[in-house]
Amino acid sequence: MEQRISLVTLGVTDLARARSFYESLGWEGQTVQDTVFHQAGGLAFVLWAREKLARDCGLEDTRQSGFGGIALAHNVRSPREVDELLATAESAGATLTRPAATTFYGGYAGAFVDPDGHAWEIAHNPGFTLAADGSLTLPDFDSL
């Protein structure tokens, strides 16, 4: 297995609402057969009906709310961008779940859940390099 993720698919209960939420944050996607595909760097970020996604995974969808056991993060280049993006997300219908604050690693971050309860952290982490194209490179932690 090569060390990479090809797609991240969020199960959503209202595709139009989910698409609109991410559009409000600046994402542009293509809708194909009730699925919204967004190019996100070297992977695809996808919105699809939650029950279809569960079935496609061979799983039963027994839960409609609460922490799903996974979090996505979007890193930005300054603390100010953290505040701006959290405000944009809240205006677009997100629920802020952790107010922006300084973090133990010397960064600044806050968190929200999208209208379907999917968790996002918005972070400025000066230890993680963000390239011009937005790709993130981890440090060699041993060298820190």
C-alpha 119/C-alpha 32 separation (Å) is: 25
- CB-based contact 111:122 (threshold 8 Å): yes
Residue 42, interface with its own copies (CB under 8 A)? yes
Pick from 14, 20, 34, 56: which binds its own copies (CB under 8 A)? 56
Element (H, E) at 31: strand 30-32
CB 51, min distance to its own copies, A: 10
C-alpha 97/C-alpha 90 separation (Å) is: 10
Residue 130, interface with its own copies (CB under 8 A)? yes
Residue 106, interface with its own copies (CB under 8 A)? no
**Scanning residues 21 to 40, which ones bind its own copies (CB under 8 A)?**
25-28, 30, 32, 37-40
Residue 6, interface with its own copies (CB under 8 A)? yes
Residue 143, interface with its own copies (CB under 8 A)? no
Pick from 16, 18, 44, 80: which binds its own copies (CB under 8 A)? 44
Residue 63, interface with its own copies (CB under 8 A)? yes
Question: What 3-state class would DSSP assign to 100?
Answer: strand
Residue 98, interface with its own copies (CB under 8 A)? yes
C-alpha 61/C-alpha 116 separation (Å) is: 14
- The single residue listed with the structure tokens 């709310």 is 65
Closer to its own copies by CB, 68 or 93: give it. 68
Residue 113, interface with its own copies (CB under 8 A)? yes
C-alpha 131/C-alpha 137 separation (Å) is: 8
